[in-house]
């Protein structure tokens, strides 16, 4: 009987919360809403120590915070959500910690792709962005399955950056752009000697690598540049995340640790975005 009553109270609370969010979001939607919000999920380990949790439970609490933030962003009308889940630099942590995090990551990826998961209920497509060959075979396979299973979803896009740093992304994009340009030159020359580009200014311009070439080969090319980057735990640095894409976005650093992030933080940053919208829009035009 207690369990039944508890479920009823839980459903009632969720219904009331959902109604309140709808009211708040309907007001926010009168103004501009960001197309893309990115999150640096900082503070899981500190949260675990703060709450005296056993290893891994801080990251589990962080996963719950991610699910809530996904739901809020979707209800608000944000089309693209990106999260910084695991940096290449994180592989330098203690081997046992890396192994534990990889196991947890595989578990949560599989959880995300279940038929009844929030991702499938809301129609969110998942992309994993980064140097995926650095992941363990099991985690990489889980990531690939998730991308295939959600490929038919089209309501929103969740990009999960794993084995990722922005410098690695930029180097990768430049390398691919150069290879593509050399292939183009060889093809135009029918496999003969390479054109002596220095003799022809027009050819030099034609065969230069430009910003659009690099842009096209970035891991994050499936998304527009972020409008907002939110980093929890109060740290005001990007930590090698979306350096190429963040030239004109709004940065927000709430003091809350990632598992503590909530609706109020999202509302505050949306209001700040709307207050600065015209200025940000003008800056993007000038770039």
Judging by DSSP bridges, how do beta strands 228-231 and 36-40 pair with one another?
parallel
Residue 70 tokens, joined: 């996904």
Give bridge partners of residue 250 from the DSSP assignment. 228
For residue 150, the 8-state DSSP code is T
Cα atoms in the Cβ-side hemisphere of radius 13 Å centred on 229? 24
Give me the DSSP letters along 124-180. Answer: EEEEEES-GGGS-HHHHHHHHHHHHHTTT--SEEEEEEEEE-HHHHHHHHHHHHHHH
C-alpha to C-alpha distance for 176 and 178, rounded to whole angstroms: 5
Task: Tell me which residue has tokens 């109604």.
Answer: 19
Taking the C-alpha atoms of residue 86 and residue 241, their distance in angstroms, rounded to an integer, is 11
Measured between alpha carbons, how far is 100 from 60 in angstroms, rounded to an integer? 12
What is the spatial distance between Cα 257 and Cα 144, in angstroms, rounded to a whole number? 30
DSSP state string for 22-71: HHHHHHHTTS---SEEEEE---HHHHHHHTTPPTTHHHHHHHHHHHHHHH
CA distances from 244 to 143, 240, 248, 249, 272 (A): 24, 10, 10, 11, 23
Catalytic residue among 42, 190, 203, 225: 42
42 classed as catalytic: yes
What are the tokens at 23? Answer: 């009211």
Q: Catalytic residues, which ones?
A: 42
């Amino acid at each position: 009987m207690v369990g039944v009553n508890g479920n009823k109270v839980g459903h009632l609370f969720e219904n009331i919360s959902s109604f309140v969010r709808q009211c708040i979001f309907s007001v926010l939607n009168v103004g501009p809403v960001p197309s893309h919000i990115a999150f640096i999920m900082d503070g899981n380990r500190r949260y675990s120590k703060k709450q005296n949790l056993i290893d891994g439970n801080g990251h589990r609490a962080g996963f719950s915070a991610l699910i809530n933030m996904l739901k809020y962003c979707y209800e608000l009308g944000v089309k693209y959500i990106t999260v910084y889940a695991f940096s290449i630099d994180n592989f330098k942590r203690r081997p046992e910690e890396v192994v534990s995090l990889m196991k947890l990551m595989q578990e949560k990826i599989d959880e995300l792709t279940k038929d009844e998961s929030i991702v499938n209920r809301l129609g969110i497509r998942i992309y994993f962005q980064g140097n995926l060959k650095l992941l363990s075979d099991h985690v990489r396979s889980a990531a690939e399955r998730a991308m295939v299973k959600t490929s038919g979803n089209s309501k929103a896009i969740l990009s999960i950056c794993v084995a990722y740093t922005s410098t690695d992304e930029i180097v990768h994009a430049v390398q691919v752009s150069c290879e593509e340009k050399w292939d183009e030159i060889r093809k135009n020359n029918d496999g003969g000697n390479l054109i002596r580009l220095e003799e022809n200014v027009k050819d030099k311009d034609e065969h230069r690598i430009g910003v659009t070439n690099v842009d096209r080969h970035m891991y994050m090319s499936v998304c527009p540049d972020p409008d907002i980057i939110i980093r929890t735990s109060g740290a005001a640095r990007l930590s090698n995340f979306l350096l190429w894409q963040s030239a004109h976005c709004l940065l927000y650093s709430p003091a809350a640790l990632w598992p503590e992030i909530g609706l109020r933080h999202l509302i505050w940053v949306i209001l700040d975005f709307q207050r600065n919208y015209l200025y940000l829009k003008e800056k993007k035009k000038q770039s």
